[in-house]
Amino acid sequence: MKRCWLVKTEPSSYSWEQFNTDGKVDWTGVRNFQARNHLREMQKGDEVLFYHSVVGKEVVGIATVSKTAFPDPTVDESVKGDWVCVELRPKKALKRGVTLAEIKADAALKEMLLVRHSRLSVIPLAKAEFDRILELAGN
């Protein structure tokens, strides 16, 4: 079954603009068990909201999973554990960014893990939450 996700990134390290320039990216560097488990559950074609943390604090676009979990090539001998990444491709920019403040203010979204668990970097979304964000964005 197709699922919806949200990934966070600081635009100063990797932005939506850079993502679009690249055309695709291996979503590497996840070093959190919960986030990793979510990466493993991603299926090809799943839709992923792209969120800018710290700077902007808004959802800026939609990506799709183009390759399911595979070993993270950025892991070397100094890193313990069995880490994975996925390949993402940009699908569509939001017409208008949806900010964290708006998400918190929205009755349908304020229970999102993005709000409740702000440090998790890969977050599963309910379809209704995903749709609501697109609605707020005007897409």
Contacting positions for DNA (CB under 7 A): 8, 10, 31-34, 53-54, 57, 80, 100-101, 104, 117-121
Tokens read off for 106 = 């929205």
Q: Per residue in 111-120, is it b (16+ CB within 10 Å) or e — as a string?
A: ebbbeeeeeb
Instruction: Tell me how far, at minimum, the Cβ of 1 lies from DNA, in Å.
Output: 26
CB-nearer residue toward DNA: 43 or 74: 74
Among the listed residues 106, 124, 115, 111, the one whose alpha carbon sits nearest the alpha carbon of residue 133: 106
Instruction: Tell me how far, at minimum, the Cβ of 30 lies from DNA, in Å.
Output: 10
Q: Are 65 and 45 in contact (CB under 8 A)?
A: yes
CB-nearer residue toward DNA: 2 or 105: 105
Instruction: Tell me how far, at minimum, the Cβ of 104 lies from DNA, in Å.
Output: 7
Tokens read off for 132 = 């609501």
Instruction: Tell me how far, at minimum, the Cβ of 20 lies from DNA, in Å.
Output: 21
Among the listed residues 22, 30, 118, the one whose alpha carbon sits nearest the alpha carbon of residue 70: 30
CB-nearer residue toward DNA: 54 or 128: 54
**Tokens 């493993």, located at residue:** 40
CB-nearer residue toward DNA: 108 or 120: 120
